[in-house]
Amino acid sequence: MTMTALGEPSVLLKLGEVVLKGRNREIFEMRLRANIKHALKGHRVDIRQRHGVIALFLPSGTEVEEAETVAARVADVPGIVLVHLAWRVAKDPDSITKAAIELIRDSDEVARKARFAVRSRRRDKRFPLRSNELDRVVGGVINDTFGLPVDLSNPELTVHIEVDKDEAFLFTGGRPGQGGLPVGSSGRALALLSGGIDSPVAAYRMMRRGLRVDFLHFSGIPFTTSESIYKAYALVRNLDKFQGKSRLWVVPFGKAQQSIKNSGQDRLAVIAQRRLMLKTAEEVAHRIHAEALVTGDSLGQVSSQTLANITAQDHAVDLPILRPLIGLDKTEIMAEARRIGTLEISELPDEDCCTLLAPRQAETRAKIEDLKQIERRLDAEDLAAQLADSIQPYKLDV
């Protein structure tokens, strides 16, 4: 396979629901291009917009390995549904046919005489051959050259050809992107990040819906070690590949937990802690101009996530609380955590502040007035402001 015969490597990005945005589409596409540019910082790439497609042109002479690295990196950028490592050739039937032959010559499918099809698309309607005519021309030469059987219904190998304004692109496969909307197109949110499995997945899901997510972690210090902070840092560092410029803050929460524990309402301690966390997060959110909070709650998964207790937590703050995992079970959440690369980190042992002072038996139907009485004794509003003042930023090394 020679680069001269195949042309130059490039990367094609297929967009999903961005193309359905009507009059606002250009705003979403501009945001997506900016996110791609940030993700590819350090790579020399020319980003060009097409109708429903973004083409990444690499410098002349770029090695295939570099193009593959670029393709892998942009596959993590929300707003893209498919990523194709493609070859850019002159837009004439002869060049396209020769490139198609070289593209598949050394493939396993050719070696085992796999069934094939050619799928062409003309974005430039001035091209002299219609899509089905180009399919027949290229498919006929492939059949003559390699003796592969044609199967238009269920091919094992598909050669894709896209004829564009100034060139044609050829590719045989691709990798799935993240889908969703470009990060930053829906606003900013603050995610409460524990060291567990659920909250990183919740944050990821909101990134896919266009939210730029910052992270707030509650540490049990001084009653725990820094292990949970290290986990939170590792989780944010992993999640940063989906949005870039992620920010993490840590709240030393141990003494506040101890005060709640000493309030005498043992069964309500977990929900009281959660409400204080939310109040603190709301105070931080106001300071960083975040418009919502994000949690990893899943209905009925633990005692604090019954419907009554979720309602009691919602009542603690005015900002909306987004719960993208609310209808998922643990198996589904773990599968997504494994896919996005956070599961292995979340399963590392640490001292979780949420369980440090948890009672043996927690309340499943907390009454809001009982919680308010605890908060009045603690001066919860002032305490939340003090906790927000105590946050410590952790800069990501990415």
> Residue ranges for the binding site for ATP?
192-193, 217-218, 274, 296, 305
Q: Where are the alpha helices (DSSP H) in 153-303?
A: 198-208, 227-239, 254-261, 269-288
Nearest to 84 by CA among 180, 162, 7, 172: 172
Q: What angle do CA 367, 304, 262 make, to 5 degrees?
A: 70
Question: Under a CB-based contact definition with an 8 Å cutoff, are residues 10 and 166 in contact?
Answer: no
DSSP string computed for 27-65: HHHHHHHHHHHHHTTTS--EEEEETTEEEEEPPTT--HH
Task: Cite the beta strand spans of the chain per DSSP E.
Answer: 8-15, 46-50, 53-57, 80-89, 116-122, 157-163, 168-171, 175-176, 187-192, 211-219, 248-252, 293-294, 321-322, 392-394
d(CA 241, CA 243): 6
CB 76 within 8 A of CB 90: no
Find the length of the chain. Answer: 398
Q: The dihedral of CA 334, 335, 336, 339: what is its sign?
A: positive
Which amino acid type is present at position 245?
K
Contacts of 389 by beta carbon, 8 Å cutoff, 6+ apart: none
Q: Which residue bears the tokens 């900013």?
A: 188
Phi, psi of 6 (to 5 degrees): -85, -15
Instruction: List binding-site positions.
Output: 192-193, 217-218, 274, 296, 305
Give 179's DSSP letter: -
Q: Are strands 53-57 and 46-50 parallel, antiparallel or unpaired?
A: antiparallel
